[in-house]
Amino acid sequence: MGEKSDIQTGWLPLIIVTLSIFTIVIDKTFLNVAISSLIRDLHTNIGTIQIIIATYSLIMASLMLIGGRLQNILGRKRTFLTGAGIYGVGTVVAALSINSTMLLLGWSILEGVGAALMMPATTSIISGSYDGERRAFALGITSSMASGAGTIGPIIGGFLTTYYSWRYAFGMELIIIIVIVLFSREISTFPPTLKWADLNVVGAVNSALGIFLFVIGILLLNNPKNWNIGICSIVIGVVLLIIFYFNQKSRMNHDKQPLVDVSLFKDRAFTLANITRLIMNFTIGGVLFVIPVYLQTVLGADPLTTGLTLIPMSVAIFIMSSAAGKLSTRIQPRYILAIGTMAAMAGSVYLSLIFSPYITILDMLPGIFLLGVGMGIVFPLSANVIFSVARRDQQPDASGIMNTGINLGSSLGTAVLGLILILGSFTSLGLVSTNPAQNTTSEQITNVQQFFEKIELQNPGNNEKQKIVTSEKAKNMKLAFNVVSIILFIGLVMSLLIPPQKRKRKPTIGGVSSNI
């Protein structure tokens, strides 16, 4: 809208922006393999770690639209550097954490806010810094870097946690942030195009609070004492999001600046592609939580082994992300999306069938690989559909909506599947309650929850209660993957309902996403 800068001839701005994407994506994967160490070092439990992991994606989802709009008010470079500064402070707080509250503040909140400011600005900076084939090349590099970071994130996290400490991973991120700030002068300055008065404050509050309350409500269901509060939080969150939608429509009808162009949802392809992508991120967010929990609390795997176990998924995502784009020139995207969803569903069904107290890591690898194949197909193709139907002036809004869906899906996956894993053992209440006849149902459930959360993170051995935990967690994993299969089936239906493209286009990437 009048924002102008000199087109770059060098690649240093691309390197700086790519470093931020690399850091954010790794940040979303390495802590999942350090769950057992976090529980020990911070004297906490699985439920609390679940909340911390889910809240990181939740903060990003809640603030992504606001972060995108702030670019127009503060300028792209200033928004990016403000996010980097907040992110850097978060890494220090997280690395020095002495309890779960400190980790929640540093990693989930401060780093989440910083990432929500940086992520939308990365695409805008690249789009404004390069043109033509150089822009296409730059956007391709950032997407490849995001996929690559997702591949090595679990390995880095597992290696550092096993041989040093998970705190070193945050230290590594701080070094990268310092490098970004030191070389930030190479980033072009993009003047603001809006004033603070143009910010849709009501929309910003409704969207952020609505998403936050909705997911927090699900997380609160982990504790039976909070069920009433959790249900109320979910309902209020949904109501606020409905109000947000109609508020945006009203502002657009009266020629006022909205927080996001909700008219994009009128396009069926745009809406269904976003739903399909959200479902796939629900899957990866949940899987990256429950599989490490099972590996470490039941099979006794260390963080490095956990990270290596997840490699087939990451490698499949990386390979299929490249291959899927070539297929889209010959086959309608909706059919490719359907194939990807079915591949992931096959992996989920396989895992639901094989889970038992005697399962081994090798038994799990085919299912994990198939999940990665599906994700690798869906992620780039869904992004291509989303941006191909958005006008050029709608690209920032399309990017904001897609990235919000990515983080919302990931947060929901962690919350819902974690809920199943932690509270899915109601059938064993009488076995683990100290005096079932005198306890209420709520008290019995709480006893199970507390017992499961405080189990030793070692080989269960012959302890009778540990055998109960192992058996019940295997059942819960089967239930979790049955839920994933059902959700993926809905994604399959959504993908097939996407209208066929009238003309074939080259894959277009209008925004950078972490995919996970």
In this structure, are 272 and 385 located in the same domain?
yes
Q: Is residue 74 part of a domain?
A: yes
User: Do 335 and 369 have their domain in common?
Assistant: yes
Whether 324 and 223 share a structural domain: no
Residue 288 pLDDT more than 70? yes
Instruction: Say if residue 180 is in the same domain as residue 157.
Output: yes
The pLDDT-based confidence of 5 (bands split at 50, 70, 90) is very low
- Report how far apart the first and last C-alpha atoms of the chain are (Å, whole number): 31
Same domain, 49 and 66: yes
Query: By 3-state DSSP, what share of the chain in percent is helix, strand and coil, each rounded to 5?
Result: 80, 0, 20
| Within a domain: 440 | no
Query: What is the overall mean pLDDT for the chain?
Result: 82
Q: 253 lies in a domain?
A: yes
SS3 of residue 388 by DSSP: helix
Q: Has residue 509 got a pLDDT over 60?
A: no
Q: How confident is the model at residue 234 (pLDDT cuts 50, 70, 90)?
A: very high
Same domain, 158 and 233: no
Asked whether the predicted pLDDT for residue 301 surpasses 80, the reply is yes
Domain membership flag for residue 470? no
Distance CA 359, CA 354 (A): 7
User: 139, 163, 192 — which closes off a domain?
Assistant: 192
Regarding whether 319 and 228 lie in a shared domain, the answer is no
Q: Is the pLDDT of residue 307 over 50?
A: yes
Q: Is residue 2 part of a domain?
A: no
Q: Are residues 144 and 272 in the same domain?
A: no
With CA atoms as reference, report the closest residue to 352 among 477, 448, 464, 261.
477
Q: What CATH number has the domain bearing residue 287?
A: 1.20.1250.20
> Can you tell me the distance from the alpha carbon of 403 to that of 411, in angstroms, rounded to the nearest whole number?
12
What pLDDT sits at residue 507? 46
Clarify whether residues 219 and 181 are in a common domain: no
**At residue 315, does pLDDT exceed 50?**
yes
Give the pTM: 0.82
6-20, 106-120, 296-310, 373-387: the lowest-pLDDT one: 6-20
Is residue 462 included in any domain, yes or no?
no
Based on its alpha-carbon atoms, the radius of gyration of the chain, rounded to whole angstroms, reads: 22
Q: Cβ(374)–Cβ(343) under 8 Å?
A: yes
250 inside domain: yes
pLDDT confidence tier of residue 497, bands split at 50, 70 and 90: very high
Secondary structure in 3-state letters for 242-260? HHHHHHHHHHHHCCCCCCC
Q: Return all residues near 243 (Cβ < 8 A) that are at least 6 apart.
A: 206, 210
Which residues have CB under 8 Å from 453's CB, separation 6+? 45, 46, 47, 422
Helix, strand, or coil (residue 44): coil
| Local confidence band at 459 (pLDDT 50, 70, 90 cut-offs) | very low
pLDDT at 9 over 90: no
Spell out the alpha helix ranges (H) of 310-394: 311-327, 333-354, 361-388
Give residue 511's Cα distance to chain centre.
Answer: 16
Report the SS3 class of residue 228: helix
pLDDT at 433 over 50: no
Residue 145 pLDDT grade (very low, low, confident, very high; cuts 50, 70, 90): confident
Distance (Å, whole) CA 244 – CA 242: 5
Does residue 4 lie in a domain region?
A: no
Residues in the chain, overall count: 516
Q: Mean pLDDT: which of 142-146, 178-182, 471-475 is highest?
A: 178-182
| The predicted structure's pLDDT at residue 329 | 64
Same domain? 231 vs 291: no
Do both 135 and 46 map to the same domain? Answer: yes
Q: Is the pLDDT of residue 219 over 90?
A: no
Q: Is 375 helix (H, G, I), strand (E, B) or coil?
A: helix
pLDDT tier at 484, thresholds 50, 70, 90: very high
* Measured distance CA(322)–CA(333) in Å, rounded: 15
The full 3-state SS of 74-89, as one line of letters, equals HCHHHHHHHHHHHHHH
Contacts (Cβ under 8 Å, ≥6 apart) of 191: 3, 4, 75
3-state secondary structure (DSSP) of residue 353: helix
pLDDT digits (tens, 9 = 90+) for 359-379: 899 999 999 999 999 998 888
Q: What is the mean pLDDT of residues 234-255?
A: 92
Cβ within 8 Å of residue 63, ≥6 positions away: 112, 113, 116, 117, 208
Phi, psi dihedral angles at 449 (to 5 degrees): -60, -50
Give how many domains the chain has, as a whole number: 3
Give the domain range for residue 205. Answer: 200-258
Query: Using one digit for the tens of pLDDT, what is the confidence trace for 461-481?
Result: 446 666 666 777 788 899 999
Between 398 and 85, where is the model more confident?
Answer: 85
Judgement on whether residues 184 and 212 belong to the same structural domain of the protein: no
483 within 8 A of 475, measured Cβ to Cβ: no
How many CA atoms lie within 13 Å of 101's alpha carbon, on the beta-carbon side?
0
Please tell me what DSSP assigns to residue 310. T
